[in-house]
Amino acid sequence: MPRSSNPANRKEGIAGYVFLSPWLLGLMGITAIPMLGSLVLSFTNYDLLSDWSELEWVGFDNYTRMFADDPHYLDAVGVTVIFALVAVPLKLAAALGVALLLNKERRGTGIFRGLFYLPSLLGGSVALALVWRAMWSKDGAVNAFLALFGIEGLNWINEPDWALETLVVLAIWQFGAPMVIFLAGLKQVPNELYEAAAVDGATKWRSFWHITLPGLSPVIFFNLVLETINGFQGFTSAYVVSGGTGGPVDSTLMYTLYLYQSGFTDYEMGYASAMAWVFLIAIALITATLFSTGKFWVHYGDGQ
Amino acid sequence: MHRAASSHVTSRRTLLLGALSLPVLAACGTDSGNQPEPESTAPVELSVFWWGSESRAKATEEALKLYTAKYPFVTFKTTWQGNQGYYDKLATLAAGGNAPDIFQIDDGALSEYAERNVTLDLTSYKEKNKLDVSKFPESLWKYAEVDGKLAGVPTGENTPGMIYDKQLCQELGVPEPKTGMSWEELIAWGEQVYTKSGGKVLGTMDPSADYKALWVWLRQQGKELYGKKAMAVSKEDLIKWFDLWKGARDRKAAPTADIIHEANAGDVTKQLVVTGKAATSFLWANQLSDTQKLTKRTLGVVAYPGDPKGQWARAAMYFSVARSSERKDRAVDVINFLVNSPEVGKLWGADRGLSSNMDVRKGVADGLTDKVTKEAFAFETDLASKFGQAPPVPPKGHVKVRQLLTTHAESVQYGKATSAEAAEAFLKEADAALK
């Protein structure tokens, strides 16, 4: 029987939408409509300050300018890709490593889990980035530590070849969130498999490689997708550490930071909107690629 | 019957009241015609937004209180913050249609806002004498004109000033820098500072990424930084400029790129005279007191090297009124009060530049007790006679150009590009930003 012919069902459907309406209103008002607005603006010379009457349609100018006529844009793309390529795998490796260590129930593991998770709680906070900036400056804590071993440290955040690396280290340090998810995933791997492997005389390494990793692959996949998207969107640390400039010499000019500068410092909001859309499409493509590789290495326990 | 009589009475009373109030209203009308005061006395709240230090905030609040004391029905909603991020916030407010009634702005952004018609054109107020600039030097209020529109009111006059560590000169036994010394002499001096301090103080700041130093240097040669919708500076001059400072760094007369970069961010607390890493900082004359507050060492101020006629009487900053404001007349009157009141002048000292109103300035100078402010005042008053003619206000796109110069000058400092490569890339991008 078709659903709509049952009045009770239809009523329930309406009630569902009524209950959903706060979320729907939020989605439309805060996400969907502004996004469409920015799509329209990306084809204009919108500059934030001028009267709407000054708005001009510029076609694909903003889009061609990005790739043909803006070296700083290409710098920003390069910085972001390097950041994501380096920070994401290292962060996941750190998260998995620590999760494995904390998986066994010993005295105090609870405390350690909490401690390792702490940096993530602070997340992308400005305060943390400020501390980071102080730590990695010429006379900061990192160099004081290196001096104990007689090493004279660099002016890390003010060297174009090193500034981005300090941000990578900051990102890796905040591995708590994927770690907690890994911990949960590890609990899901059936213990019988390990017992069977032990009976067969498998080494620890072999059981990690053949049981833990495949069993954990859905969780790894989930973390990978999430962290990749996060990695591309890094903003706060770059903004704070470079004082909003993306310097020295564009070395910390993350994509979102350049987007922000274009919109709010250079008043080129149309151009910034176009950048945002290219960014959205790029992230969508990367995520789709990750999903398409999933079938080769992600194993779901239910045999699918 | 009864009802009719009552309504009759009422209407007669209304008439009577109306007739009585007519002359009063008329009187109000003529009154406001003569005096530069807005008519309404209904309670009104004006929003005011500025950047600056805590002491500026305190002095500004007190000045606004003086206005409220005069007109108790006018109150203020004030917002202030540090330099960094100020314009991001102002642009966001303006874009959202919430521009503050009165906001502080400097010549870096004035054209950006004026050409986009965010600021109210104050010309008619000036002509009706509701905004009194008659006691201002003409070149100063004219420095607020963009495309023939008066986009703001200069709060005070200011000029580039090289702030240096006076105490260090005495300790090391090197002569203090002097107004009128050449750029070469400054670099030689920087080398001396480096040697005599045993490499502890890294000579002079390298201002090659600083548009105002480049601009003054060009003007000393009779050239300009900006042309019409394009850069006026030539590639050859830029190369010379970058090379001049590359030479200085090679001689260890200036710090290494990473140290210069710390100061280039613009934050006053990171300036090298404050952190003690170098003996000079290229700032504005009115920043002597701000920097002095941040260090125990005694600082001094001189003009940028070269002929001081390359410098000009620049508006330190302006107050502008938002064109979207619903209280324009009142906002203009408040600004008129702030820039012309001797009491406000005394409260502010040289914090927003030397008072624009010459009478106020004289009063401030006479009443100065603070040694540092006195010195900044004396320096600029003395320099005023040597000023060259002011160039037009920096054009729309200046903010971007400023950032581009920093990026490309730094790429030379870090050895990532040659002077010629940086000059060429900078000009190409800067010209595009000015279109």
Q: Hey, are the CB atoms on A47 and B407 less than 8 Å from each other?
A: no
Q: Does A154 touch chain B (CB under 8 A)?
A: yes
- Nearest beta carbon to residue A158 from set B117, B261, B416: B261
Q: Does A39 touch chain B (CB under 8 A)?
A: no
Q: Does B118 touch chain A (CB under 8 A)?
A: yes
In this predicted model, what pLDDT tens digit does every residue of B310-368 receive, in sequence order? 998 899 999 999 999 999 999 999 999 999 999 999 999 888 989 999 999 999 998 88
- What's the per-residue H, E or C state across chain B? CHHHHHHHHHHHHHHHHHHHHHHHHHHHHHHHHHCCCCCCCCCEEEEEEEECCHHHHHHHHHHHHHHHHHCCCEEEEEEEECCCCHHHHHHHHHHCCCCCCEEEECCCCHHHHHHCCCECCCHHHHHCCCCCCCCCCHHHHHCCEECCEECCEEEEEECEEEEEEHHHHHHHCCCCCCCCCCHHHHHHHHHHHHHHCCCCCCCCCCCCCCHHHHHHHHHCCCCCCECCCCECCCHHHHHHHHHHHHHHHHCCCCCCHHHHHHHHCCCHHHCHHHHCCCCEEEEEHHHHHHHHHCCCCCEEEECCCCCHHHCCCEEEEEEEEECCCCCHHHHHHHHHHHHHCHHHHHHHCCECEEECCHHHHHHHHHHCCCHHHHHHHHHHHHHHCCCCCCCCCCCCCHHHHHHHHHHHHHHHHCCCCCHHHHHHHHHHHHHHHHC
Residue B17's pLDDT is: 44
Mean pLDDT of all residues in A135-150: 92
CB B419 within 8 A of CB B381: no
Q: Does A243 touch chain B (CB under 8 A)?
A: yes
In this predicted model, what pLDDT tens digit does every residue of A106-139 receive, in sequence order? 888 888 888 888 887 776 678 888 899 899 988 8
Residue B268's pLDDT is: 87
Q: Hey, are the CB atoms on B257 and A248 less than 8 Å from each other?
A: yes
Alpha-carbon gap: B328 to the closest alpha carbon of chain A (Å): 18
Do the first three CATH levels of B44-156+315-383 and B160-311+397-434 match, i.e. the same topology? yes
In this predicted model, what pLDDT tens digit does every residue of B150-167 receive, in sequence order? 999 999 999 999 999 999
Round the average pLDDT of chain A to a whole number and report it.
90
Residues of chain B with pLDDT under 70: 1-39
Q: Does B258 touch chain A (CB under 8 A)?
A: yes
CATH number of A42-297: 1.10.3720.10
Residue B6's pLDDT is: 42
Round the average pLDDT of chain B to a whole number and report it.
89
Top-level CATH class of B160-311+397-434?
Answer: alpha beta
Alpha-carbon gap: B319 to the closest alpha carbon of chain A (Å): 18
Q: Does B199 touch chain A (CB under 8 A)?
A: no
Query: Which of B90, B277, B405, B410 should one mutate to test binding to chain A, selecting the residue with the greatest count of A CBs within 10 A?
Result: B410
Using CA coordinates, name the residue in chain B closest to A54: B116
Q: How confident is the model at residue A183 (pLDDT cuts 50, 70, 90)?
A: very high
Q: Does B262 touch chain A (CB under 8 A)?
A: yes
Residue B28's pLDDT is: 41
Alpha-carbon gap: A260 to the closest alpha carbon of chain B (Å): 9
Alpha-carbon gap: B234 to the closest alpha carbon of chain A (Å): 21
- CATH superfamily ID and name for B44-156+315-383: Periplasmic binding protein-like II (3.40.190.10)
**Residues of chain B neighbouring A48 (CB-CB closer than 8 A):** 91, 94-95
Q: Hey, are the CB atoms on B399 and A265 less than 8 Å from each other?
A: yes
- Nearest beta carbon to residue A50 from set B117, B259, B399: B117
Query: Which of B110, B202, B400, B407 should one mutate to test binding to chain A, selecting the residue with the greatest count of A CBs within 10 A?
Result: B407
Residue A32 confidence (pLDDT) above 70: yes
For chain B, the structural domain boundaries read 44-156+315-383, 160-311+397-434
**Residues of chain B neighbouring A49 (CB-CB closer than 8 A):** 91, 94-95, 112-113, 116, 118
- ipTM for the predicted complex comes to 0.84
Q: Does A287 touch chain B (CB under 8 A)?
A: no
Mean pLDDT of all residues in A171-176: 90
Tokens of A244: 């909003």
Residue B9's pLDDT is: 43
Query: Per DSSP, what are the bridge partners of residue B321?
Result: B102
- Which residue in B433, B392, B350, B400 sits closest to B151, CA to CA? B392
Query: Which of A47, A49, A241 should one mutate to test binding to chain B, selecting the residue with the greatest count of B CBs within 10 A?
Result: A49
- The residue with tokens 């994401």 is A88
Residue B373's pLDDT is: 84
Alpha-carbon gap: B77 to the closest alpha carbon of chain A (Å): 23
Q: Does A51 touch chain B (CB under 8 A)?
A: yes
